Amino acid sequence: MSEALSSPPLLQVDDLIVRYPVKKSLFKARQHVHAVNGVSFHVRRGETLALVGESGCGKTTVGRSIMRLVRPSSGSIRVDGIDIASLSRRELKPYRRKIQMVFQDPYASLNPRMTAGQIIGEPLGNFDIVHGADRENRIIALLEKVGLSRTHLHRYPHEFSGGQRQRLGIARALAVEPSLIVGDEPLSALDVSVQAQIVNLLDHLQQEYGLSYLFIAHDLAVVQQISHRVAVMYLGRIVEIGETADIFRSPIHPYTQALLAAVPLPDPRKRRIIEPLRGEVPSPIAPPSGCAFHPRCALAEDRCRREAPQVQEFRSGHFAACHVMARNNEYAARPSSREHGFARSGKIANS
Amino acid sequence: MNPSVLTPALPETVLEVSDLQVQFETIDGIAPVLDGLSYTLKSGETLAIVGESGCGKTIGALSLLRLAPSPPARITGGSIRLSGRDILTLTEDEMRGIRGNDIAMIFQEPMTALNPVLTIGHQIVEPLMLHKRLNRSAAWERAVELLRLVEIPEPERRASEYPHQLSGGMRQRAMIAMALACGPKILVADEPTTALDVTIQAQILKLMADLKHRVGTAILLITHDLAVVAQTADRVVVMYAGRVVEDASVYELFENPRHPYTRGLLASIPKLSIDDERQKLEGIPGSVPPVGGRPSGCTFAPRCTLARDECRQSVPVLETVSPTHKVACWAVIDATSKQEKEQAIV
């Protein structure tokens, strides 16, 4: 990935904040859910970044903001250098071709009244890509690309198995030749034997087309398998981000450590029935003061309750936001040798 | 953890399912869902039933309580012996005395399994009054005690709350408390952690392991997650398209899987590793056949690299390959018997 480091990232998200209003009450001030609370990261060309975290951490909202299915409250989302965070629908259209999405539930995300050919053909028409006889050839080529065939052209979604439907969803995303595919849990509804097929397909397509993936997932074993870098989210913030090997081998943030310790291993000789974390994720309507993780953190001290930790670099390309771990961070003491996308905008908003 | 430590000195068979046949009867015709499901469950044991969607594992579990939705499901053969008594011959009244009392069940989605308009306490009190003939106040006291047992903080207050006031993990704890209320012999857990986040899953798995020690209930764990199986089960039954393909101790299953399907499943799961060796996942070509579209012979044959004519024609029977290991596969059985013959000659 060294050559990719020098070119600007395909996707650069800076200080993204998404707030949803909560139902107004007559006597209370209007409350907001801070679904995403100052998130910054980038995705390079040909790279897979996994966004992981438990339900309610805001990972899906980040994905939906990038698709502009959700309008960010503030912050920027730059695609090839252009900020799409506040573009109008019309202005957005050319960028829709660059970013496509694959959804979790292949049953719910395909129109049951359209044939496979129509499903894949629709984006080709919307973006004026091919017409006439070429169109059908292109559709067949796409079907074959994802491991289906021309015999599937006139079939309806209900005639496909779950794995085949997910292949269809991938073919639809590929139709417009995107640079980035946002996958929101694209594997979690699939059976394991089929999940492995789709992992291999995504891997193959990435190599062939130099695609970038933003992979939103909760299954860390899958994430380790498919991603180059991993960002760990907790209550609307990124608490740690780095190369996959670094995150899994030497996680820094106590939350990342707990998350990894909680993953059951498929080996009866390595039993570790432990409770890595007590309690549950607090409500994002009233997140805890300071570091949002402090009520569940074994290392928490006074400062964690008062002050939100800044993201800092612990190793080259490995960032985390933790007061306690930062004290022993030797890397931070060194003068910064390199401008880094994340370091540049690594501040965490205190709103 | 050695599973034999968990098992009492003389484990008795609490449940024996043999040759259970269940079919779906619809306007489109009759389709077998379970075609000869057999297994035994011993006291204090955790038996995992593993398989992908559509293999019949949930229908098998519901059949134990005679709760498989009918129509379309109909039990057409076999027996389910609970401590020796075939529950398929019981009347509906007798069956009611077993549900929640001898066999209790916890479900994947606690929000849909709990009654939203009754308090948590009320729902635990109900089986205690029905089966154990406790009066309301004694039952309520016991309910609070059970909530404390499943480590729900402030159990007195939580007992008076409604399901929607609890988080997902707390609801699952409440459902476990309810299932344990009457001290069942068997706890059937259908995907108990699938809907939960990984840190909450770890909490629930730990709770179930602790409770097994303390309460001594046999657990029938229905799941698709092989990692959860490896962490919790003593023995594993692997199902594919309505049949048992392999039945082994958890160690034998993970260390020496014999059936091509089990091998394929194990090769499909990504394994979290600290050594950063990214293995290529293999997967299994094709997909699980739908109920009603299952092939004749071995149902796995169309996806199996070892399949031959014999496999497509006749159904392999479950053969014993070691005292704690059974496999239903023609290729494996042939290889084993060939080996035995060679050894006999030598």
Could you write out the three-class secondary structure of chain A? CHHHHHCCCCEEEEEEEEEEECCCCCCCCCCEEEEEEEEEEEECCCCEEEEECCCCCCHHHHHHHHCCCCCCCEEEEEECCEECCCCCHHHHHHHHCCEEEECCCCCCCCCCCCCHHHHHHHHHHHCCCCCHHHHHHHHHHHHHHCCCCHHHCCCCHHHCCHHHHHHHHHHHHHCCCCCEEEEECCCCCCCHHHHHHHHHHHHHHHHHHCCEEEEEECCHHHHHHHCCEEEEEECCEEEEEEEHHHHHHCCCCHHHHHHHHHCCCCCCCCCCCCCCCCCCCCCCCCCCCCCCCHHHCCCCCHHHHHCCCCCEEEECCEEECCHHHHHCCHHHHCCCCCCCHHHHCCCCCCC
Confidence of residue A278 (pLDDT cuts 50, 70, 90): confident
Contact between chains at A275 and B232 (C-beta distance less than 8 A): no
**Nearest by CB to A200, which of B226, B250, B281?**
B281
- Range name among A121-125, A182-186, B67-71 with the lowest pLDDT average: B67-71
pLDDT at position A230: 97
State the pTM of this model. 0.85
Chain A, window 2-41: residues with a beta carbon less than 8 angstroms from a chain B beta carbon: none
For residue A347, what pLDDT is reported?
40
How far is the first Cα of chain B from the last one, in angstroms, to the nearest whole number?
Answer: 39
Phi, psi (degrees; rounded to nearest 5) at A125 = -75, -45
Tell me, yes or no, if B155 comes closer than 8 A to chain A by beta carbon.
no
* Per-residue model confidence (pLDDT) at position A343: 41
CATH topology for the A2-24+31-98+178-344 domain: Rossmann fold (3.40.50)
Interface touch B230/A267, C-beta < 8 Å? yes
Distance CA B78, CA B98 (A): 19
Distance CA A165, CA A148 (A): 10
Domain map (residue ranges) of chain B? 3-345
Q: Rounded to 10 degrees, what is the CA torsion of B175, B176, B179, B184?
A: 180
Residues of B in contact with A195 (CB under 8 A): 268, 283
Specify the domain boundaries for CATH 3.40.50.300 within chain A: 2-24+31-98+178-344
Q: How many Å lie between the alpha carbon of A84 and the closest alpha carbon of chain B?
A: 32
Band the pLDDT of A40: cuts 50, 70, 90: very high
The crossing angle, in degrees rounded to 10, of helices A254-262 and B198-215 is 50
Residues of chain B with pLDDT under 70: 1-10, 273-279, 344-346
Alpha-carbon gap, residue A19 to A267, rounded angstroms: 42
Average pLDDT on A107-123 reads 92
Separation of alpha carbons B145 and B179, rounded Å: 14
B158 chain-A contacts, CB cut-off 8 A? none
The answer to whether the CB atoms of A264 and B53 lie below 8 A apart is: no
- The stretch A311-339 carries a mean pLDDT of 80
- Label residue A171 by pLDDT band (50, 70, 90): very high
Residue A10 has pLDDT above 80, yes or no: yes
Least confident of A182-186, A227-231, B234-238, B270-274: B270-274
Q: Please enumerate in sequence order all residues whose Cβ is within 8 A of that of A171, keeping only pairs 6 or more positions apart, or say none.
A: A120, A142, A143, A145, A146, A148
Is B213 exposed, middle or buried, given 0-12, 13-18 or 19+ CB atoms closer than 10 A? exposed
Question: Closest by alpha carbon to B34, among B321, B277, B241, B265?
Answer: B241
The pLDDT value given to residue A337: 42
Nearest chain A residue to B197, by CA = A54
Q: Mark yes or no for CB contact A248/B272 under 8 Å.
A: yes
- Quote the minimal CA–CA distance from B252 to chain A in Å: 10
Tell me, what's the pLDDT at B8? 47
Question: Could you give the CA distance from residue B119 to residue B126 in angstroms, rounded to a whole number?
Answer: 11
pLDDT value of position A238: 96
Structure tokens at B31: 């389709």
**The pLDDT of residue B113:** 85
What is the C-alpha to C-alpha distance for residues A320 and A330, in angstroms, rounded to an integer? 13
Distance separating alpha carbons of residues A109 and A215, to the nearest angstrom = 17
Q: State the average pLDDT for chain A.
A: 87
Q: What is the pLDDT of residue B314?
A: 92
Q: What is the DSSP letter of B302?
A: G
Average pLDDT (A223-235) is 94
B window 12-31, beta carbon within 8 A of A: none
Question: What are the chain B neighbours of A275 within 8 Å (beta carbons)?
Answer: 202-203, 206
Residue of B167, B224, B274 lying closest to A192 (CB–CB): B224
Residues in chain B with CB shorter than 8 Å from the CB of A271 are 1, 230-231
Nearest CA among A49, A59, A171, A62 for reference residue A110: A171
Low-confidence winner among A233-247, A267-281, B5-19, B130-144 (lowest mean pLDDT): B5-19
Q: What is the largest CA-CA distance in chain B?
A: 73
Binned at pLDDT 50, 70 and 90, residue A31 comes out as confident
Q: A275, A281, A318: which to substitute to probe chain B, counting the most B Cβ within 10 Å?
A: A275
Answer with the residue of higher pLDDT: A330 or B102: B102
Q: From the list B231, B285, B287, which residue is nearest A273 (CB)? A: B231
Q: Contact A32/A43 with Cβ under 8 angstroms?
A: no
Q: How far apart are CA B296 and CA B60, in angstroms?
A: 21
Q: Which of B198, B232, B279 sits opposite A262 (nearest CB)?
A: B198
Q: B169: which chain A residues are within 8 Å (Cβ-Cβ)? A: 280
Residue A225: closest C-alpha in chain B: B278
8 Å CB contact of A245 and B276: yes
Task: Mention the CATH class of domain B3-345.
Answer: alpha beta
pLDDT at A21: 83
Among B200, B265, B266, B272, pick the best mutation site for testing chain A contact (most A Cβ within 10 A). Answer: B272
SS (H, E, C) B235-287: EEEEEECCEEEEEEEHHHHHHCCCCHHHHHHHHHCCCCCCCCCCCCCCCCCCC
Residues B76/B22, Cβ–Cβ less than 8 Å: yes
A194 in reach of chain B (CB within 8 A): yes
Nearest CA in chain A to B290: A161
Of how many residues is chain B composed? 346
Could you give the 3-state DSSP secondary structure of residue B75? strand
pLDDT 10s digits, A48-76? 999 999 888 899 999 999 999 999 999 99
Pick the more confident residue, B329 or A128: B329
